[in-house]
A and B are shown apart, each in its own frame.
Chain A
Amino acid sequence: MTSDRAIPVLDIKDLNFGYGQTPILKDISFSVNPGEFTAVIGPNGCGKTTLIKTILKSEPPDTGTIHIQGENIEFLSNKDLAKSMAAVLQSIDPASMSVRDYVLLGRLPFFKRYQFFETQYDLDIAQKYMDLTGITALSDSRITQISGGERQLCAIARALTQEPDLLVLDEPTSHLDITHQKRILDLITSLKKELSLTVLMVLHDLNLAAEYADRLILLNKNDHKIYAAGSPEEVLTESAIQTVYQTHVKVRPNPVSQKPYVFLVNSQNQTEEPFTKE
Chain B
Amino acid sequence: MIHKKIKQWIFILSGLLCLVLAAGILALCTGSAGIDFTRIPDILLHGKDTTQYSILMGIRLPRILLAMAIGGALSLAGTLLQGMFRNPLVEPYTLGISGGASLGVCINILFKFYAVIGIAAYPLFGFLGASIVIFLVYSLNRNSTNIRSNRMLLTGVMISYVASSLVMLLMALSHSDDLQNIVLWIMGSLDEPNTALIRIACIGSLAGLFISYFFCMDLNALLLGDEEASNLGINTARSKKILFITASFLTGLSVSVAGIIMFVGLIVPHFVRMMTGPDHRILLAASFLAGAAFLTVSDVIARVIIAPLELPVGVITGIIGGVMFIWALSKKQVTL
Using a CB–CB cutoff of 8 Å, the interface residues on chain A facing chain B are 56-58, 77-83, 86-87, 89, 92-98, 100-101, 105-106, 108-109, 111, 114-118, 120, 123, 144, 162
Contact = CB atoms under 8 A, between A and B. Distances in A.
A116 B234 contact: no
B279 A101 contact: yes
Most B C-beta atoms less than 10 A away, residue of A93, A94, A95, A106? A95
Contact of A144 (B6, B221, B230, B335): B335
A100 B228 CA distance: 17
A-B interface, 9 closest residue pairs, ranked by CB to CB distance from nearest: A82-B233, A79-B233, A109-B233, A95-B336, A95-B223, A95-B278, A87-B231, A108-B232, A78-B233
A8 B230 CA distance: 24
Contacts, number: 81
A98 B277 contact: yes
A89 B233 contact: no
Contacts of A79: 233-235
Interface string B54-87: 0000000000000000000000000000000010
A83 B232 contact: no
B220 interface: yes
Contacts of B221: 105, 108
Contacts of A117: 2, 6, 281
Interface residues of B, number: 27
A98 to B, nearest CB: 7
Contacts of B6: 117
Nearest to A85: B231
A118 B2 contact: yes
Contacts of A162: 232
B227 A58 contact: yes
Nearest to A108: B232
Contacts of B223: 94-95, 97
28 contacts: A56-B227, A78-B233, A78-B235, A79-B233, A79-B234, A80-B233, A81-B233, A82-B232, A82-B233, A86-B231, A87-B228, A87-B231, A92-B224, A93-B224, A93-B225, A95-B86, A95-B224, A95-B335, A101-B277, A105-B224, A108-B232, A108-B233, A111-B217, A115-B217, A117-B2, A117-B281, A118-B2, A123-B2
